[in-house]
A = this chain, B = another copy of it.
Amino acid sequence: MTEHVPGAPPEHLHHWVVTLSCADGPGIVHAISGAIVAARGNITESQQFASLDTGNFFMRLQVESSAGRDEFEAALAPVTERWNMQWHLDEVGRPLRTLVLASTAGHCVNDLLFRQRAGQLPVEIPLVLSNHGTLRDLVDFYGVPFESLAVTDAVSKATFERRVLDAVDQHDIELVVLARYMQILSPELCAALEGRCINIHHSFLPGFKGANPYRQAHSRGVKLIGATAHFVTSDLDEGPIIEQNVVRVDHSRSPGELVAIGQDEESRTLSQAVKWFAERRVLLDGVRTIIFR
């Protein structure tokens, strides 16, 4: 293990990432580690958490092994079956197929595409879908296909959402990112994408309801503004929280300046959340996220 870094095992080795969850109880870790040994695996990273809220057990492992997928799954099967686990096996570093939905604001889209190209984000974005054409040039530059479909009424909204689901099938999408996509998803789409759709929105202390929250934050003299990345549920801004950041502001900031500051927080917070998700570091425990950083 000491001659090489995780993610770059010797030629003949696979580098697996395993995530699993089940009802907590004694002996789980021993059973899992036994299966890893049986698969000639060497654990290079391991995190676990037992939730007192739900009684569930969560684990994330990175394992180097000469065993291929079939052999590795076969070694894990007795344990995952006995403990009735939800589990997932993947290659460390495999780019996650990610669909990006956008509207007119470019800051989050640019940040995601730049990090993908810079190799900072293990995602593969086959398509950016927008309800406006504004960002076509930006997306083109990064060599990513771009489609726009206007959303002006119930009918065009339904068309847009059908296109989203088609794209998900067509490209085997594993994650849908709302990169300042300013439409509320229908409950049906939220349900269809549950647990694999991430949204970003601004955050304030205290929170503000209704239109133009930056103007409200300004008139209220808020000292901190930030952003929250969360899973999408039918209740748009209330899904399980993945990541949050804030930055300090003062009375002299205009609403316009607050918007610019907030956009920076949105970009870096969304990219961080997507990175953790793509690395299989985000697990769901009811309405909470477990983040294995």
Binding site for B on A (CB under 8 A): 1-2, 5-6, 24-27, 29-30, 33-34, 36-37, 40-50, 52-55, 106-107, 110, 114, 118, 120, 141, 203-207, 218-224, 226, 228, 237-238, 240-241, 243-246, 248, 250-252, 254, 256, 260, 263-264, 268, 285, 287-291, 293
Q: How far is the CA of A228 from the CA of B238 in the complex (A)?
A: 22
Are A55's CB and B1's CB within 8 A? yes
Q: A30-B36, A45-B252, A251-B288 are in contact. List 6 more A-B contacts (CB 8 A).
A: A1-B55, A2-B52, A2-B54, A52-B254, A206-B207, A268-B268
Interface of chain A, main secondary structure? mixed
Are A264's CB and B254's CB within 8 A? no
| Copies held by the complex | 4
Q: List the 8 shortest-distance A-B pairs measured between CB atoms, nearest first.
A: A221-B288, A2-B55, A30-B33, A141-B141, A223-B244, A29-B33, A26-B42, A203-B205
In the bound complex, residues from chain B placing their C-beta under 8 Å from that of A223 are: 241, 243-244, 291
**Can you name 12 A-B pairs with beta carbons within 8 Å?**
A5-B256, A26-B37, A30-B33, A44-B50, A45-B252, A46-B46, A46-B48, A52-B254, A53-B218, A107-B114, A206-B238, A251-B289
Are B30's CB and A1's CB within 8 A? no
CB distance from A152 to the nearest CB of B (A): 26
In the bound complex, residues from chain B placing their C-beta under 8 Å from that of A285 are: 221, 251
